Chain A
C-alpha cells in the first residue's frame, strides 16, 4: 500500500487501535488533517485549547487503560500542550502526543511557529522523538506507543516536520505489528528470592499495614490486591492516586492516607511494624516529614520503576516488577506456605484501629444552614449509587471528593495528583464520557479551577457530552485560603475570587443547562434532576458553599503522620 506521510500517520493510528484523536489544527499539521478528513475510522475530537486536548486524552487513558492520543500543531500548539503532558508525566499516564513541526529544512532557523518541541518537553516526557524521514514515521510511532504503554507508563511526544507528511511523497506502508528496543526492557516479574523474603516478613507482622498507590490501577491489579488483602486480613490504605483499586466500602479499608488522609490511616502508618507498599512512590504529600515516617516499620516495596525504590524513604525489601505479576506470585507463595498471620496480634491491632476510627475524623457540621461541600459529595455519592466516573480539578473540592466519594471500582476516580493541575477536570471528563458514552460522569470542581479550561464547555456541546459539572463555589481559591488561614494568620492575599461570572448564564450561553443551588435542602433534588431529567444534557451545577470550610485532617509541612490537625481542634486554637 503506497501512502503519504499524513496518510501513514492516520492509518497507523487506526491499525494501532486508536479510537479517538484529541486535537487542534494549524499550519504544520494540515497535511495530517487532510488525511483525517478523507477517512472515518479514527474519530477526531476538536477541542478549544490544546491543554484541553491533552487532559481529555489523559482522562480517556485513566478511565480505559488505553493510551490517550493527541495531535497539535507546531509552536503555540506544542507549548499549549505542555501543561497536559507534564500532568500525565507526573501521574505516569500512557499518552502519545503528536506535535507538528516546521519542515526539516527550516528547523533551527527560527521559522514561523517553530519551537524546539523535543527540547521543551524533554524533562516532562517518558521519551520523545523527532521524525526526520517519512520512512521512519510508522516505526517511530510504534516505538512511541510501545514506550508509552509498557513498564512505568508515561507520555511520549513525536515531533513530525511538515515535509514528512507531504501528500506528494508516497511510500510503501505496512503496519509494524511489534517492535523491540535494545535499550528498553521493562521488568515484569519480581525476583523469587525477594518475593519469598517479603512473604516471610508479611506473615511475621504484628501490626501490618498495606499502602497502595496508582501503580495498582496502572497495572490493572485490583483483583490480585483484593485477594492478597482478604487472605491476610490486614488493614489497607491508599494514596490519592490509588483510590478505587481496593473497594472503599470494604471494612479493611481505612481511607486515604497522607496530608489530608484519615486519622486511622495515618495513625496506623505511624504505628505499623511492617509496611507493604504497592505501586506507590512515597510522595511528600503522603510521607510528611520522612524522618518521622513509619518509625518502627520494616518496609517492603513493589514497584516497576527501580528509581521509585528507596528514593525518598529507604526500604528493606525492594521488589522490582509489575504489581499484577508480583502480587500473583506472592499470593501463590502465601497459599503454599500454610502458615497464617498471628491472629492474636492482629485482633489487638484491629482493636487499636477501631479506637482511632472512633475519632470520626471526617465529621462536619451537618446542621449548617450553608451548603457544606462534604454534604454535596455525600449526596452525589448517594444519587449516583457510588457508580459514577468522577473527575476533579485541584483544591479543597478535590480532597473532599477523595474523602467522601467512596470508590469501589478501579479507574473511576480521575484527578491530577502529582502536578496538581487546575483546569484538568472538565477536559478529563470529556475523555471519560467519550470512552463510556452512557455512563454517569461528574466533574467536581471549584469556581477558580473551572475557569482554567472553561472553554471546553463548547467542545462538550459539539459532541453532546452530558457531563455533570459540580461546581463547589466558595468564592475562594479555598485550598490557598486554607493555607493562608492556618499558616499566614488569615492574610488572604489574592485568594478571593472576585468578579465571578454568572455560571448559570455562562452554561446557558454555551447551550447547556445551568442551575444554581444555595440551600442545603435543594442539593439532593438538583443532583437527582441532573442525572435523570437532564440525563442527556451537560448540567452545570453551581453550588454556593460555605466559604469558611477547611479540609481536615491535615498534616502540615514538617509534621509526621501522628501529628495531624483535626477538624475537632479547629475551634480550640490548636493550629
Chain B
C-alpha cells in the first residue's frame, strides 16, 4: 500500500538526514520526500511517500516518532486528504507535435511556461498519478522532467500542528 506521511520536524541542522538515514539504514523505501519551512520558523514540514505492508508502515511511523527531532507526524492516507505534486517537463516539439502537446496540456489543465522553436516546457500540478498519466500520454521526446515530490494535507478540520 502507498502511504503519505506528513511530519513536523524541528528545524535543526541534520534533522533531515536523521529521517533519510532511518529509511536507508532500515531498508524502508522512499518514493518521494519533500521538505520546506512552515509558518513557524522553528519547524519544517516533510511529506514522505512510501510503500509497504501494514506491519512495515507501522514500524516506519514508530521509528520516525522515535527520532528526537520529530515533533509530530500523521499518516495522511488513514483519512481524507488532498495530495498535490508539481511537475515541469521539457519536450522536443516540432511540426504536428506542437499542437498535440498543447492540446494534451489543456486537457490536463497544465500550462506551457516556456517556448522555443523546438521545445515546450509544460507546468502541471496534481496528484502523482495524474502526472504519471500525463507523461504516459505524451508521445513526443521528453528532454527533462522535474517533479517537486508529493505534498499533502488532510481535508476538513483536521490539521497537523504543535
Question: How distant is A166 from chain B, measured CB to nearest CB, in Å?
Answer: 21
Q: Is B102 positioned at the interface, with any CB of A under 8 Å from its CB?
A: no
Q: Give B84 Cβ to nearest chain A Cβ, in Å.
A: 27
A123 touches B21 (CB 8 A): yes
Interface flags, A268-309, vs B, CB<8A=1, else 0: 000000000000000000000000000000000000011100
A181 contacts B by Cβ under 8 Å: yes
Cα-based distance from A181 to B42 in the complex (angstroms): 13
Q: Is the CB of B14 within 8 A of A183?
A: no
Q: Would you give the shortest CB distance from B57 to chain A, in whole angstroms?
A: 12
Interface residues in B37-81 by Cβ distance below 8 A to A read 55, 58-59, 62-63, 65-66, 68-71
| Interface residue? B13 (CB, 8 A) | yes
Query: Could you tell me if B63 and A307 are in contact, using CB atoms closer than 8 angstroms?
Result: yes
- B58 close to A126 (CB less than 8 A): no
Quick one: closest B residue to A151, CB to CB?
B66
Point out the residue from B14, B18, B162 that lies within 8 Å of A130, measured CB to CB: B14
A115 to chain B, nearest CB (A): 15
A119 to B18, CA, bound (A): 9
Q: Beta-carbon contacts of B18-34 to A below 8 Å, as 1s and 0s? A: 10010001000000000
- Interface SS of B by simple majority: helix
Say yes or no: A126 contacts B68, CB within 8 Å.
yes
Question: Would A127 and B162 count as touching, CB distance under 8 A?
Answer: no
Rounded to whole Å, the gap between the CB of B12 and the closest CB of chain A is 9
Q: Is the CB of A119 within 8 A of B71?
A: no
- Docked Cα-Cα span, A126 to B69, in Å, equals 11
A130 to B21 alpha-carbon distance, docked (Å): 17
A183 touches B21 (CB 8 A): no
Known pairs A123-B25, A147-B68; A307 contacts B62 (CB<8 A)? yes
A123 contacts which chain B residues (CB < 8 A)?
Answer: 21, 25
Contacts of B162 in A (CB 8 A): 182
Interface size on B, residues (CB 8 A): 19
Q: How far is the CA of A236 from the CA of B137 in the complex (A)?
A: 64
* Interface pair B17/A122, CB less than 8 Å apart: yes
Report if A118 contacts B (CB, 8 A): yes
Per-residue CB contact flags for chain A residues 306-344 toward chain B (1 = under 8 Å, else 0) read: 110011001000000000000000000000000000000
Residues of the A chain whose Cβ atoms lie less than 8 Å from the Cβ of B18: 122
Residues on B with C-beta less than 8 A from A181 are 68
CA distance A130 to B68 in the complex (A): 14
Query: Is the beta-carbon distance between B21 and A310 smaller than 8 angstroms?
Result: no
Instruction: Decide: A130 near B13, CB < 8 A? Known: A182-B162, A310-B55, A310-B58.
Output: yes
Measured CA separation A118–B14 after assembly (Å): 9
Q: CA separation between A137 and B106, bound complex, in Å?
A: 57
B114 CB to nearest A CB, Å: 36
- Using CB atoms, name the residue of chain A closest to B55: A310
User: Taking A182-B71, A183-B10, A183-B71 as contacts, is the C-beta distance between A306 and B62 under 8 angstroms?
Assistant: yes
Q: A182 CA to B9 CA in the complex, in Å?
A: 11
Give Cα A250–Cα B66 distance, bound, in whole angstroms. Answer: 37
A58–B26 alpha-carbon span in the complex (Å): 25
Are A127 and B62 in contact (CB-based, < 8 A)? no
Contacts of A310 in B (CB 8 A): 55, 58
Q: Which residues in A have their C-beta under 8 angstroms from that of B65?
A: 306-307
In the assembled complex, A184 has its CB within 8 A of some CB on chain B: yes
Of chain A, the residue at the smallest CB distance from B62 is: A307
Q: Which residues of B have CB within 8 Å of A306?
A: 62, 65-66
Most buried by A among B17, B62, B63, B68: B68
Most-contacted residue by chain A among B13, B18, B58, B66 (CB, 10 A): B66
Are A183's CB and B59's CB within 8 A?
no
Chain A: minimal CB distance from B26 (Å): 10
CB distance from B38 to the nearest CB of A (A): 14
Q: Give A183 to B13 CA distance when docked, in angstroms.
A: 15
- CB A312 to nearest CB in B, in angstroms, measures 10
Write the nearest CB–CB distance from B62 to chain A, whole angstroms: 4
Interface residues, chain A, with chain B CB atoms under 8 Å away: 118-119, 122-123, 126-127, 130, 147, 181-184, 305-307, 310-311, 314
Known: A310-B58, A311-B59. 8 other contacts (CB 8 A): A119-B17, A127-B68, A130-B14, A183-B70, A184-B68, A305-B66, A306-B62, A310-B55
Which B residues have a C-beta under 8 Å from some C-beta of A?
Answer: 10, 13-14, 17-18, 21, 25, 55, 58-59, 62-63, 65-66, 68-71, 162
Give the 4 A-B CB pairs with smallest separation, nearest first.
A307-B62, A183-B71, A127-B68, A306-B62
* CB pairs A–B below 8 angstroms (9 shown): A122-B21, A126-B68, A130-B14, A183-B10, A183-B68, A183-B70, A306-B62, A306-B66, A307-B62
